[in-house]
Structure 1
Amino acid sequence: MTYLPGLSGVTRINAYDFGGIIAIINIISAKINAEENKTSNASIASNDSPVKIFISHSSKDKSVVESFINLILRLGCGLQPTDVLCSSIEATGIKTGKDIRDYLQKQLLFCDYVFFMISDNYLNSSICLNEMGGAWVLDKEVKPFLFPESDFADMGWLYEISKGAKLDNDEALDELRDELLDKYKLIDRPKTSDWTAQKKSFFKSLNSL
C-alpha cells in the first residue's frame, strides 16, 4: 500500500521496481490461495519443514554463497542443512520431486529470514529481483549482504529501507552470529574460538573467489 503509490508520476524507475511489481502480483495471488485453504497450507508447512533462512542469490555466485553457508551459518553458527534453503546447493536445495516454483513460494512464505546475496549477477537476475520483491511484500526479516566489489549505491531503494552489510565486514558477521544464536537458542553452539577460525576461513575463501 505504500510501495506502489510511491511509483506514481515517476518518469524513471529501476530494475528493482519491475521485480517488485511482478512479485507483488505473484505474492498477492499466493496469499489469496492461502486464505482460501489455510488447512492445506498448514499441512504443507508441516510436511515440508519450513526453513529458517531463505538464501536469495544468483546461481552464478554459487561458490561464494556455498562458502558463506558452510563456514558462517553451519560451522560458525551451528545451523543444520535443513535450516537453510539455497536452491543451487545440493545439501540445502530443493528436494527431489518438488514443484520448484511452488516449493520456493511456500518456503519464502513461512521462513524466518531472507538473505539477499547482492552482486552484479544478482542485480541482473529477474528471478532474484522477484524474490526480493516477494520478501518485502511478505514483510519478512531481510538481511542484505553485498559482495565486496558491490557498492551500497547499487542497492537503490533497498538501502533506503534496510541497511546492508558487506560480506567481508567482520563486525557485521559477528552481529549476525549473535542474533542467530539468540533467536534459535542453539544448544550445540560453536565456541567463539571456532567461530573466529571459520570466519577467517570464509574471508580467505572470499578473497580467492
Structure 2
Amino acid sequence: MAKKNISQVAVPKARLIISKAKFSQYLKERIAEGHILLEKNVPLPMQPQYSYYGYSVRDAMSPVRFTDEQEAFISEFQKWTDYNSELLKQSFDIGNNEYQAKYVRCGQSLVISANDDIIRLYKEELKDKIYFLDSLFAKVELLPCSIIEPEEKLEVPKKKQPLLFISHSSADEEIASALVTMLRTLGFNKSNLFCSSVPGYDIAEGEDIYETLASKFIDYNIYVIFLLSENYYNSAACLNEMGATWVLKVKYSTLICPGFTIPDIKGAVNPSKMAVVLDDAKRVNGKLNQLKDHLVEFFGLPEIEDDTIWENDRNEFLLSIRNHKYEDKKIR
C-alpha cells in the first residue's frame, strides 16, 4: 500500500506594515530607554521567600510593601515592556506574531528561588528583553515587509539638537548655579542647557523627573558636564545619570568640586580624561578655557568678540567657588 505524502502547512511569516526605517527608529529608541532603566540604581534588600518566578506568580515573591524606589522601578519596567509588546503587535500584519510572542517569553523562567530579590529578577528580564530588541534591530533589513519605498523617498533622520546637561548633586547647587551664569556668556540659554537646580533651566512643573531625563537623553545630542564631589557619589540620582551617559556613549567633561580629587573618581567616568579641578589655582584658568573651546565647537556657538568678557565671567565663577563655604549637605 502506497504511503501518502503529508505536506506540512507553512506558517505564514509576519510582515512589517510600517517602513523598515521607521521600525528601526522605534527599536533604537526603546533599546535606549531600556538601557537607561537598567542603569537606574534601586536598593536591593533580600526577600526571604520561596516561590516560582513568572508573571502569573510574581505576587507570591512580592514583599509586604515595596519601597518607593522599588515601586517606581517596577512601574517604569511594566510601562516600558507593555509598550514594546504593543509596538511589536502593531508593526506587523499578524498581531500575535512570532516576534511579539518571543519578546513576551524572553526573560521569563520558572525558577524556585529562596531568599532571592525580585528587583534583581526584573533586571535580569530587562536585560534579556533589551538583548532581544537589539538582535531584532540588527536584522531589520532581512524582515519581510509589505511597504515598498523608493530609495530616494526614504526619510532622512532628523539631526538632533545639542543640549548641555549639568549632572550634579543638589547639595552642590550653588556651584551649578554659578557655572550656569558663566556659561551664559558663551551663548547658552534654556533651549540648549539643562540644569535641574537653576530655575528656568530645570524640569517644568508637574513633569516626571525620570521620564524627562530619559527623553532628553534620547531626543537630544547630549553633552554632559559632571560636577563630581562626595555628594555626587552619595546620590543615587547622580549615579543613574552617570550610568546613562556611559551606556549611551555620550560626550562629557568633568569638573572636580573643592574637597574632591581626581584619585577619588570612580565608576563610569574616566579618571585619565581631562578634568577641571576647581581648586587647582595654577591650572584652572587654562582648563576652563579648554572647556570653553570644546563647548563652542560642539554646539556651534559664535566666537566671543572680546575675550575679556569671558575672562571676567570665568574669574567671577572661580571667585564664587573660593568664597563658597563647602560643606556636606543632604543629597537629592
Spell out, residue by residue over 1:34-88, the C-alpha distance to the aligned partner (whole angstroms, 9 max, x if none). Answer: 9x59xxxxxxxx9xx96611111101111111001112x112x121122111112
1:175 is matched with 290
Matched, 1:116 2:133: no
What pairs with 1:56-205 in structure 2 (closer than 5 Å)? 56-71=167-182, 73-75=183-185, 77-109=186-218, 110-157=220-267, 158-160=269-271, 162-168=273-279, 169-187=284-302, 189=304, 191-205=306-320
2:121 is matched with none
Partners in 1 of 2:285 and 2:246 — Cα distance? 26
1:131 is displaced (CA, Å) by 0.7
Please point out which of 158, 163, 177 is paired with 1:52: 163
Partners in 2 of 1:187 and 1:53 — Cα distance? 16
SS class of match (1:117): strand
Whether the 8 Å CA contact 1:53–1:83 is kept in 2: the answer is yes
SS class of match (1:116): strand
164-173 or 192-201, which deviates more: 164-173
1:123 is displaced (CA, Å) by 1.2
TM-score computed with the length of structure 1 as normaliser: 0.72
For residue 322 of structure 2, what is the amino acid of its counterpart?
Answer: N
For residue 198 of structure 2, what is the amino acid of its counterpart?
Answer: I
For residue 22 of structure 1, what is the amino acid of its counterpart?
Answer: E
132-141 or 143-152, which deviates more: 143-152
Between structures 1 and 2, the one with greater helix share: 1
Spell out, residue by residue over 1:132-176, the C-alpha distance to the aligned partner (whole angstroms, 9 max, x if none). Answer: 011100000011211122111110253346332213511111011
1:16 is matched with none
1:206 is matched with 321
Whether the 8 Å CA contact 1:53–1:85 is kept in 2: the answer is yes
1:12 is matched with none
Whether the 8 Å CA contact 1:119–1:150 is kept in 2: the answer is yes
The aligned length equals 176
1:22 is displaced (CA, Å) by 3.2
1:186 is displaced (CA, Å) by 2.3
Partners in 1 of 2:270 and 2:229 — Cα distance? 14
Partners in 2 of 1:100 and 1:51 — Cα distance? 20
SS class of match (1:82): coil
Matched, 1:22 2:39: yes
SS class of match (1:91): coil
Partners in 2 of 1:21 and 1:97 — Cα distance? 25
| Closer, same or farther: CA 138–78 of 1 in aligned 2, 3 Å | same
For residue 244 of structure 2, what is the amino acid of its counterpart?
Answer: G
Whether the 8 Å CA contact 1:55–1:117 is kept in 2: the answer is yes
TM-score computed with the length of structure 2 as normaliser: 0.47
Partners in 2 of 1:176 and 1:31 — Cα distance? 37
| Closer, same or farther: CA 147–167 of 1 in aligned 2, 3 Å | same
SS class of match (1:112): strand
| Closer, same or farther: CA 31–142 of 1 in aligned 2, 3 Å | farther
Q: Greater relative contact order (Cα 8 A, min sep 6): structure 1 or 2?
A: 1
Unmatched 5+ residue regions in structure 1? 1-19, 38-45
SS class of match (2:196): coil
- Look at both structures and tell me which one has the larger radius of gyration over its CA atoms: 2
Of all paired residues, the percent bearing the same amino acid is 27
